Amino acid sequence: MVSQPDKIAWNIFDQRLHNLMMEFEDYHNAIEANAIVNADTIKELSMLTNIDESSLREIIKEVEEMVEGKRQDDFGRDFTGKPKLSAPYYAVKVTGALFHTQGGLVVNENARVMDKKGNTLPNLFAGGGSARGISGPADWGYMAGNGLLTATTFGRLAGSAAAKLIVEFS
Ligand SMILES: Cc1cc2nc3c(=O)[nH]c(=O)nc-3n(C[C@H](O)[C@H](O)[C@H](O)COP(=O)(O)OP(=O)(O)OC[C@H]3O[C@@H](n4cnc5c(N)ncnc54)[C@H](O)[C@@H]3O)c2cc1C
């Protein structure tokens, strides 16, 4: 997406996902900010998003073919058996940004960074986005709240452990 000329894309979804998203305050804020586009037809959606109508119809058809298992997604995603989009349609303009990281430096229970052999490195601590959390190495392991969870808890653990080290050396 960020390699596109304007670095933007449109996420297109339907009533089913709109209803699901209504449970989130962020989504209500997006509606209030007029960021969510709502259209009864593909033609109307193309006008509201300024996407060429035939291109829009083509991509919706391609995704339907992926749902039916007749086509592979260029990005390796698997849409097989997912519900097809149906009117009314919704869309939101999006861009790429760093949300959080998974993986990272391996730390022990005191947030001390370990080397490949499992030994602690001297005076080096990590937590939050720098340390490996509990979400696994890829997007499949994403757990809501884990970014802030590991930032705050490992921050405290690192602070306590570093303070103890100073006391030991003084
Ligand atoms: C839009 C968005 C929504 C999110 N929602 C959630 C959520 O709902 N739940 C959840 O758990 N996680 C969420 N996250 C992820 C979460 O915010 C991060 O995982 C978490 O903030 C990481 O904490 P951190 O302390 O490691 O890093 P950061 O919060 O990035 O803190 C690093 C700090 O270091 C400062 N800094 C950088 N370089 C230097 C320097 N050279 N000198 C001094 N200071 C420096 C930065 O300015 C920053 O303040 C969200 C992230 C984003 C972007």
* Tens digit of each residue's pLDDT (9 = 90 or more) over 41-61: 999 999 999 999 999 999 999
Pocket of ligand 1 (CB under 6 A): 99-100, 128-130, 144-149, 151
**Mutation test of ligand 1: which of 26, 98, 99 has the most ligand atoms closer than 8 Å to its C-beta?**
99
DSSP category for residue 105: B
Q: Judge if pTM exceeds 0.75.
A: no
Mind listing the pLDDT tens digit for each residue in 80-94? 989 999 999 999 999
Domains by residue range for the chain, with CATH: 9-94 (3.90.700.10), 112-169 (no CATH)
The 3-state DSSP composition of the chain as helix, strand, coil percent (nearest 5) reads 40, 15, 45
